[in-house]
Each structure stands twice: as C-alpha cells, then as structure tokens.
Amino acid sequence: MLIRHNYTKTIPSNEITPESVYKERRELMKLAASAVALAATPLFGALNYEREKTSRGLKPTSFDQITTYNNFYEYSTDKESPARLAKNLKTRPWTMSIGGEVQKKVTLDIDQLLKLIPAQERIYRFRCVEGWSMVVPWVGIPLASVLKHVGLTSKSKFVEFQTLFDPKQFPAQRESFGSISFPYREGLRIDEAMNPLTLLAVGLYGKELLPQNGAPIRLVVPWKYGFKSIKSIVSITLRETPSHTTWNDMAPKEYGFFANVNPTVDHPRWSQARERPLGSFFKQDTLMFNGYEKEVAHMYKGVNLRKFF
C-alpha cells in the first residue's frame, strides 16, 4: 500500500527500496519537475506534502503522456483534444460541497481543504476499461479523512460524486452526443470510499493538476477502471441508497457500478485480460484489482464479481 506513515524511527528509503531503483526514481522526478515548471503554482510552492519513497518498483509514465492522453468527455470524445480545450478552465475560486447523510454539511474552498488535511504523494497504477494503462505519481488527500471531518451516520452507506456543470467552460456539455447525460456522476460504497487507497487527487508529479487531468480535484480509486475516477468534483453526497453513476445508467450491461479491474470478466466488446501501458508497444497481463488485491479483496468476500462487475 503506497502510504507513508510517520514513525519515530523512520527506516531510510535506500534500505527499503534497492538503491538503484531509489536513485532512478529521484532522477525521474527531477526531470519531471523541469518539464512541468510552467504548471507550478503558489499552492504547490508552499504545500508541504509527504513524498512516498516506496513504489513497488513502479516506473511512472511520462508527464507528457499523462497530460496529453485523456478521457474527459466534457471536452471531447477523443484523447488529444482535452489538453487543448481545457487550458482555460477556471479552477479558482473552487468550492466543493459535502452533504446528504452526514453529521455536518459543509462547503469547502479547495485551498481551505488543502490546509485542513495534509496531502500525500501516491504512485498508483491506472487502468482504463478501454485496455490501456499508465502509472501516475498523484498528490492528494485520503477521501476517508474528508468524510471523517464531516462525520458519518448510520445511513452513510454510499457516496455520490458530481462534476462541475458549466457549458461555457465544458463545450461538450452544450452538445448532445451519444447518450451521456451531464453533469457526470460517479459513486462508491462507503467501505470503498473509506479504504486507505482511495484518494482525492489535487496534483501529479509534484505539481498542481492540469485541467485535462481533472483539476482542481478528482477522485482516484486505483483498483477500479478509470471511468470511476471522476474529475473536477464540485459535490460529494452521502446516501443510504446506491448512488447514480453516469456510465452504469447509460449502458448497465457494459459498465457495472463496481467497475473493479478484473481480467476474468470481459467487456462485451473486448477482452480485459491484457492491457497496453502508454509508451509501450507490447501488452501485459492485467492484474486482479489492478494489483491491489491484498488491500481490497476483503471488501468483496462472498460477492459474485461476474454479476456485480
């Protein structure tokens, strides 16, 4: 699990990870920092976030690939256009409301939220249902910490997320293509939301999120297919009943509510057994729960993962 805990006697990173891997990663981070200098903001200049030193040997995908190959249907249905169309998205001021079945309903400014809960760096695999994958060094805050801040109730059983609806900034929201109904919605069970891996990301590669990646705040659930990781969130609602999700409502036979990465359950139109990492010509085997089986499998004990896909 890619979380750094602060113990009194922290073991040096080069004793946990092979020194060659450690040095390679630091060099990679230096190169990335140079490549994204223009994306730096006062927020990340002052943000004192925890850097995770152990990464299971995962090598992050390049900053250029992460920020130019994006699914963001509010802008376009192709992968390259969001980077071009999203550049003028206004991410300040930005507020996110949290309500529903909570003890304390709040509306938090993004900068208030970052002062309230320390951010962390997490290096996670990211797997799209379309069959491609990447490895992303996110910066974010655990969703569980946010939900604990507002307080859960006995009726807090599901969590619904909603993307900003603003046709002036999101051109595709002005159009009518396919059967996508905006604003985009996603949802989790409460145990999934409270899992330590679940993150509200505010940056990547040590810099503030770019609009095409879901600025200023997005969900990251690394054991699920990428469409669960909703972007540009403006509201979180705790519910007693299952939450609505855009793709599950639109095509329930193709996109299940759970959307757990499962190589044994194919999409009706293609296999999920293998994936192509961005930047690689060759495919690789898809891992159960995207490689996070140890951390999340217990939540689905006794669940028919073919029926609840």
Per-residue pLDDT of 234-263, as tens digits, reads 999 999 999 999 999 999 999 999 999 999
Contacts of 104 (CB under 8 A, 6+ apart): 149, 150, 151
- Spatial separation of the C-alpha atoms in residues 162 and 64, rounded to whole Å: 27
Taking alpha carbons only, the member of 242, 241, 267 closest to residue 253 is 267
Residue 3 within a domain: no
Query: What are the pLDDT digits (tens) for 222-242?
Result: 999 999 999 999 999 999 999
Taking alpha carbons only, the member of 92, 19, 4 closest to residue 57 is 19
Q: What is the average per-residue pLDDT within 278-295?
A: 97
- Spatial separation of the C-alpha atoms in residues 240 and 68, rounded to whole Å: 38
Does residue 21 surpass a pLDDT of 90?
A: no
Residue 25 within a domain: yes
Which of these ranges, 3-7, 87-91, 152-156, 271-275, has the smallest mean pLDDT?
3-7
DSSP label at residue 49: P
Number of domains in the chain: 1
Domain range enclosing 53: 13-300
Instruction: Give the chain's radius of gyration (CA, Å).
Output: 19
Q: What is the phi/psi pair of residue 298, to 5°?
A: -60, -25
Contacts of 167 (CB under 8 A, 6+ apart): 173, 174
Residue 5 within a domain: no
Residue 102 within a domain: yes
- The confidence band for 22, taking pLDDT boundaries of 50, 70 and 90, is very low
Residue 307 within a domain: no
Mean pLDDT for the chain overall: 86
Residue 1: how many CB atoms within 10 A of its CB?
A: 14
277: Cα separation from own chain's centroid? 17
Q: In the chain, where do the E strands start and end? A: 95-100, 106-109, 120-127, 132-142, 158-163, 185-189, 199-204, 207-208, 218-220, 233-239, 274-277, 284-285
Q: What is the average per-residue pLDDT within 18-24?
A: 40
- Spatial separation of the C-alpha atoms in residues 27 and 52, rounded to whole Å: 15
Contacts of 187 (CB under 8 A, 6+ apart): 158, 159, 160, 161, 242, 243, 244, 245, 257
Please give the pLDDT value at position 44: 55
Residue 205 within a domain: yes
Residue 7 within a domain: no
Residue 1 within a domain: no
Query: What are the pLDDT digits (tens) for 104-153?
Result: 999 999 999 999 999 999 999 999 999 999 999 999 999 999 999 999 99
Please give the pLDDT value at position 50: 56
- The CATH number given to whatever domain includes residue 121 is 3.90.420.10
